[in-house]
Amino acid sequence: MTLAGYGQARRIRHSTGCTCSVLRAYLGTGLPYPGNSCSLSSVTRSIYVAAPEVQTGWSVIAIGIINALTREVSNVGVFRPLVHDARRHEGFLDALLQQPGVKSTYEESYGTTYEEAMRDRDEAMATIVAKYGAMKDSFDAVVVVGTNYNAATSASELTLNAQIAANLNAPVCLAVSTRDRTPEEVEGIAANAVDEFRRNHAHVIALMGTRVTDDNREAMLAALGKTEGVLTAALEEDPVVRSPSLGEQFEAVEATVMSGRPEQLARESQGGLVAAMTLPHVLDRLFEEGTIIVASDRTELIPGLVMAHSSGAFPQLAGMVLTGGYELPESIVKLIDSVKHELPIARTDLGTYTTANRIGNLQGRHTSSPRKIEIMRRVFDEQVDVRGLLSAMSVERADIRTPLMFEYQLSEMARRQKRRIVLPESGDDRILESASIVLRRGTADIILLGDPNTVKARASSLGLSLDGAEIVDMSDPALIERFASKYAELRAKKGVTYEQAVQKMTDPSYFGTMMVYLGLADGMVSGAVNTTANTIRPSLEFVKTKPGVKVVSSSFLMCMSDRVDVYGDCAVNPNPTAEQLADIAIGCAETASIFDIEPRVAMLSYSTGTSGSGEDVDKVREATELVRQRDPELKVDGPIQFDAAIDPTVGKKKMPGSEVAGQATVFVFPDLNTGNNTYKAVQRSSGAVAVGPVLQGLNKPVNDLSRGALVDDIVNTIAITAIQAQHS
């Protein structure tokens, strides 16, 4: 091609009006040219997140969209058109790529550098289009994150973002900061930004105000709504999200860490407090997750502050900075160490004023911790019409359902009607960590049983926030009297005295279950420490089963690579009768429906249809008929072998015309031995994630944990219990 030819082909205007730069050969990218850029998203759905200025706080939008997409599709990519240095990873892009469900690598997730864009915008544009075209077909959806305004003026960079969005044919979500602005100012900035994108043939589908306060939320929504043809939202900024970590504070004041575990430095600080008065007055001013700034020669204050933090009777601190550079006397060090505290303490040579100034002006990175990420996900879900946004992106829910998608859907379902879940085993660190995660996600309201000071102190030592949790002291005389009286009343026919009832209420399982019975909690999760029998027994004694249900059973939600099935009963009933099998089947079908799984129930046996006989087969056949009588609308078949239930080819051959064979979603095993071994075999051999056991048949939800349960297992079980409580 001649130079004249290059000049002619270099810029192509498509019929839609958008413009893209081309010529792979000239640029030497080595990447296939993706063709007409206007068809880039013909299969892959994408969205371009942009802002008209620096420090918009748009990370909440990028994180929120990624999280929303992950619930709908199995494969999400992230793309950043411009990065500062191709040789060094960019922190924000790394944080996005680390989100669950994001499958793109760092190398394929950026276009080119700011330096290249400043040198030759056309060449840079062609590289961006080519790299995007090379990666986008590998993903169901791609989130494109625009520039951060560190390389050019706002006006020119806004236009650059508009041109990139047009060339990638990605619909645009614009973020506009509302901080320190009137609604009129926000309206003007938003309108100008939208106009600029539209002038460059980019399609704006959403306009979101960030850093909104509760006081101005409605006014800002009204201002944003003046721009026609776009979805609008106003996102409040949680103080934790903009808070720096303790490690960032220590670094800002050039401090050397004296005590505290490295992982504690990742904890967010909610601000600094200068301890310049006597200890009683300082104690009155302590606040949760605050950083205490104290001169290192104020040795009368330092031990007292450490003791206050460790006691649990005062707010839990983030850390302490000692100013002035003085060494602590050996006697003071010995006194502090005797408290066995885990409070991070650092020393700086800077003065108190300088230290306080630096800490006070420090802003933290929005994506620097899992806690911040969870808060941003929750804020986005609560304050954005997510379904409307996905519809505008033309994202349809995938037919498949991966374990990750199911986990996110559990959280989403639980948040719709938040319920109170009591956790009796607060002495277990896994429970405290799970409670902290659930609170961050907004999945449920948490009630912990235990001594409040002890629980708070342990949580603080683990670097966990229990903000929003209710901690109930089981030694409260009023609660003991109320609970024991009710238990004695309910068990009077069994000869239970008030004194015996009081003794029962010292057991956390009984105490927690009574809270559920009396409506003080909506459900209970236990079993990390207690046995299954200890967890279930109180429920059987006074919560009782639902009307018409004669047996409590269990099911596992089996998250396969592309779907979720229900297996029951794999944990409770050793050798159920035909009538009990029918109860189990109906309970499993109800569980499936609660979690948006269409119930097609397979009553499993070693024989299919009428081909076999014998006591075990007859029991399953009788149970199948009982299920049909009790619920004529339910799709159920049996006896049926596992292969005929799950494999369409085998099912069609062995049981033609069946609505269940080959497409079962609920698998009811004839006995505990078969069920327990099968679910474990499937779990271990296929890599399936087994969530449960989920208890069925009780009037109110109580769920049991394995004593080997991981934190993720506990978090999921809490969400499941909360969802069950919505239906009880």
Q: Which of 524, 576, 573, 577 is nearest to 699 (CA)?
A: 524
pLDDT digits (tens, 9 = 90+) for 23-38: 333 333 333 333 333 3
Cα 272 to Cα 319: distance, rounded to the nearest angstrom: 9
Cα 663 to Cα 582: distance, rounded to the nearest angstrom: 20
pLDDT attached to residue 536: 87
pLDDT digits (tens, 9 = 90+) for 290-319: 999 999 999 999 999 999 988 878 888 999
Q: Which of 555, 616, 543, 609 is nearest to 584 (CA)?
A: 555
Cα 323 to Cα 452: distance, rounded to the nearest angstrom: 32
Q: Is 105 left (phi over 0), alpha (psi -120 to 50) or beta?
A: beta
DSSP label at 485? Answer: H
Statement: the pTM of the whole predicted model exceeds 0.85: no
Q: Average pLDDT, stretch 281-285?
A: 94
pLDDT attached to residue 373: 86
Cα 671 to Cα 553: distance, rounded to the nearest angstrom: 11
Cα 199 to Cα 589: distance, rounded to the nearest angstrom: 54
pLDDT attached to residue 349: 95
Cα 163 to Cα 144: distance, rounded to the nearest angstrom: 13
Phi, psi values for residue 116, rounded to 5°: -65, -40
Phi, psi values for residue 479, rounded to 5°: -70, -40
Q: Residue 169, Cβ neighbours under 10 Å: how many?
A: 24
Q: What is the mean pLDDT of the chain?
A: 86
Contact assessment for residue 522 and residue 420, using Cβ atoms and an 8 Å cutoff? yes
Q: Which of 100-104, 144-148, 663-667 has the highest mean pLDDT?
A: 663-667
pLDDT digits (tens, 9 = 90+) for 597-628: 999 999 999 988 877 678 889 999 999 999 99
- State what percent of residues in the chain have pLDDT above 90: 53
Cα 581 to Cα 501: distance, rounded to the nearest angstrom: 34
User: Burial, 514: exposed, middle or buried (Cβ in 10 Å; 0-12, 13-18, 19+)?
Assistant: buried
Q: Which of 295, 293, 304, 307 is nearest to 342 (CA)?
A: 307
pLDDT tier for residue 8 given thresholds of 50, 70 and 90: very low
Break the chain down into helix, strand, coil percent, rounded to 5: 45, 20, 40
Cα 572 to Cα 536: distance, rounded to the nearest angstrom: 10
Q: Which of 17-26, 409-418, 664-673 has the highest mean pLDDT?
A: 664-673
Higher per-residue confidence, 146 vs 31: 146
Angle among Cα 401, 403, 406 to the nearest 5 degrees reads 65
Cα dihedral: 89, 91, 94, 99 (round 10):
180
pLDDT tier for residue 286 given thresholds of 50, 70 and 90: very high
Q: Average pLDDT, stretch 41-51?
A: 74
Cα 88 to Cα 580: distance, rounded to the nearest angstrom: 62
pLDDT digits (tens, 9 = 90+) for 652-694: 999 999 999 999 999 999 999 999 999 999 988 888 888 888 9
- State what percent of residues in the chain have pLDDT above 70: 92
